[in-house]
Amino acid sequence: MKYALCLSFLIFFTMSFIDIDANGQSDDVSSETVICTEDYEIVFKPSNNVPICVKSSSVENFLDRGYTLPISTQDNLRIGLLFSTTGDYSTHGTESQLAALTAIDDFNEHLKSIDKGEMSLIPEIVYLSTNPEYTLEQVKKMHIDGVDVFIGPQTSAELGLLKPYADSEHLLIISTSSTAPSLAIADNIYRLVPDDTNQARLLSKILEDNGSPTVLLLVRDDVWGNGLANAIKESYSGEVSQINYDPESPLYEKTLQDLSELVTTESQRSDVVIGVIGFGETAEFLSNAIQFDVLDDVVWFGTDSNANEQKIIQDEQIASFAQKVSFRAIQFASDYGSPLHENVESKLFVDLGYLPSTYAYAAYDAVWVLGLSMLDADSIDPNTLGLAIPDVVTSYRGTLGDLRLNDAGDLISDNYDVWSVVEGKWYKGNFREINGTGLVQKIEDGVITQEQSSPTETETTLTEQSSPTETETTLTEQSSPTETNLLVLVLIVLIIIISSIATFSVWRLKKSLTKLKNSTHIDKPEPTPEPEPTPEPEPTPEPEPTKTKNIDAMLSTKEILQHCIKTHSSLMDDKNIEFLDSSIKDIEIKFNEKQISEIFSPLIKTAHDLVGAYGKIEIGVDDDEKNVTFFVKDNGDGISKEKQDQLFKKDDHNTSSGLMMSRQLVEEMGGKIWVESVSYLGTSFYFTIPKSE
């Protein structure tokens, strides 16, 4: 008996090391080599994380004892997030990383809602700073650790260096801000952003539509900067000069000195435009440009990487200079009107404190494209996911809208925003493909000029400030859709109650008046008719006075403009349009209040139709010795030259338009009316009324 006990102990002790289970598997192998037969499953020992096979019926007992189940590669997709949260791209990197993490949370909730809670997306975060060599090093480490799917990197220089390794290791990459044309290649790298040939073509078109000025480019000397500069030169018909700078050592003063010398050589500075192809360092260029007198006498523009760059508005001097030189940047747009976009926008605003650029929404959509591809392919294999992405994209409507990819796997977009700095804040106006004629619609009479000192200057130029499409909303001003719906419901109920009370009151009043009338008719005796007097010659009758509201009177322009705003404020609510009086003067003038209102109304309604959601419409007035000039300005898509010529004429059905009636009324008052429009930056209506002698 004693020997039997000793033998049993020895066998148990030996088995504890060898750990041979009933399925015949030893613990000196990895989970990849452990294959359990039917009715057995793999669990990991708590002491050394060694995989063993146990009966399926006993799995729960083992879990209670501290054993763990393997993470199924089919149920969990690890995504490497390659965003630069420090350095020259930190603004876009921070907001994009936040958007991606938000999307991962949202998609995991989606998996639970469709009873796929066993599946999940797992973020693997690495902190970058746009250094290509460091990015490649970090990707290699993550790949060794089992990460094969990535969102990012953000810059073309990083992606260009990473591409050979990604191709050789069959990595799947979705970039959300790399735009270099040289990377437009059919491979396992997708880009939810249009390449720079679109941006170059659009910038060139805007410049050409506004007089084809000489363009002086400050270019970041890397694959992205040179690629975009070359694309501009190829698409632009005017003269382009280029000054490259080293992003690691920009030498701001030396570079700007060279630039100022080029500007000085031009006979007409109004014919010169400076373009900056750079990242966050663009703020430093603007800051240092202040000390060069000639550089604040010309118009500046940036590129997609400058749009919403917080470094430009965080410094008051830089922001002021940016506004003075009418600094603008274009960037592809997201789908503002969709409920999904509004939901994501509100989440990001709470965390960021400002509304992000389009890159953030691209990062959000990239996560969902990967997640939906995992569901569609039922796999996390990068090659399998890559094959599923094109089909998934065609059926997915995200924060960017309906996604379309070209043969190179890059986003096709014909919808762009113009970002501008106004009073220390970024604002944007939207423009898009019109009537299938290309990215832009040509407007022949636009000019590029320096912004005039007078804010009431009637000339509309490219430098005229774009209006905010983002309302200056604080956290306390934002309300949830549920709160908004409740408020609307309460208002509707109140309106119904008030209307009922009013109707009842009117009925009671009418009934009382009828009763009073009948009573008076009964009690009052018929008057005795008097004899008719001898007719006398009738005097010439005085003209019957017009109703008060139609009489010319001395009125305040401020009052009439505020009346226009009040009258049309409900019209603006459907698009959240900012509608305001931007005039500086309050002029006393003799005019017909009713006619002025009838002139304004068609102009304001036309402006409303031209602007998109969160647009801006300004009305105002100015005067000179002889005339008072009223205006209505918007930041909409603009009006083509051909359509401008037809605005104040009868339509195709030979009926008078509202604008035609406005013209007739203006001309009856001895004034004139006209329209000016600049490509994608807005339309301005003007009309004059002569001052009384």
Span 605-652, pLDDT tens digits: 999 888 876 678 989 998 888 888 999 998 777 787 778 878 887 665
- In this structure, of 233-237, 329-333, 444-448, the range with the lowest mean pLDDT score is 444-448
More confident residue, 9 or 123: 123
Reference 562, options 548, 591, 583, 547; nearest CA is: 583
Percent of the chain with pLDDT over 70: 74
pLDDT tens string 105-148: 999 999 999 988 888 999 999 989 899 999 999 999 999 988 99
Give me the pLDDT at residue 10, please: 47
Give me the pLDDT at residue 494, please: 63
Q: What ranges in 246-357 are assigned the alpha helix state H? A: 252-265, 282-289, 310-314, 316-324, 339-352
Q: Cα–Cα distance between 297 and 421 in angstroms, integer?
A: 17
Packing angle, helices 223-235 and 156-169, rounded to 10: 110
Residue 503's pLDDT band (boundaries 50, 70, 90)?
low
- In this structure, of 72-86, 221-235, 253-267, 517-531, the range with the lowest mean pLDDT score is 517-531
Please report, in angstroms and rounded to a whole number, the separation of the first and last CA atoms in the chain: 132
Give me the pLDDT at residue 507, please: 54
Residue 511's pLDDT band (boundaries 50, 70, 90)?
low
Q: Is the pLDDT of residue 438 over 50?
A: no
Give, in order, the Cα–Cα distances in Å from 453 to each of 464, 466, 468, 653, 655: 11, 16, 21, 44, 41
Q: Are strands 397-398 and 328-332 parallel, antiparallel or unpaired?
A: unpaired
Angular region, 148: left φ>0, alpha ψ -120 to 50, beta rest: alpha
Q: Cα–Cα distance between 175 and 151 in angstroms, integer?
A: 6
Give me the pLDDT at residue 65, please: 81
Q: Is the pLDDT of residue 590 over 90?
A: no
pLDDT tens string 521-579: 434 444 445 455 545 555 444 444 333 344 567 778 888 888 899 889 888 887 878 88
Alpha-carbon radius of gyration of the chain: 35
Residues 381-407, mean pLDDT to the nearest whole number: 92
Give, in order, the Cα–Cα distances in Å from 194 to each of 89, 190, 362: 19, 11, 11
Q: Is the pLDDT of residue 1 over 60?
A: no
Q: Cα–Cα distance between 354 and 582 in angstroms, integer?
A: 25
Residue 89 CA to chain centroid, in angstroms? 19
- In this structure, of 36-40, 177-181, 482-486, the range with the lowest mean pLDDT score is 482-486
**Do the beta carbons of residue 602 and residue 662 sit within 8 Å?**
yes
Residues with Cβ within 8 Å of residue 664, at least 6 apart in sequence: none
Q: Is the pLDDT of residue 197 over 80?
A: yes
Residues 318-329, mean pLDDT to the nearest whole number: 92
- In this structure, of 4-13, 330-339, 365-374, 452-461, the range with the lowest mean pLDDT score is 452-461
Give the DSSP letter of residue 193. Answer: S
The whole-chain average pLDDT of the chain stands at: 78
Packing angle, helices 658-668 and 593-610, rounded to 10: 150
The β-bridge partners of 630 are: 621, 687
Q: Cα–Cα distance between 107 and 57 in angstroms, integer?
A: 32
Give me the pLDDT at residue 480, please: 39
Angular region, 654: left φ>0, alpha ψ -120 to 50, beta rest: left
The β-bridge partners of 466 are: none
More confident residue, 156 or 430: 156
Residue 191's pLDDT band (boundaries 50, 70, 90)?
very high
The burial of 496, by beta-carbon neighbours within 10 Å (0-12 exposed, 13-18 middle, 19 or more buried), is given as: exposed
Q: Cα–Cα distance between 72 and 31 in angstroms, integer?
A: 11
Residues 653-671, mean pLDDT to the nearest whole number: 78
Give me the pLDDT at residue 435, please: 36
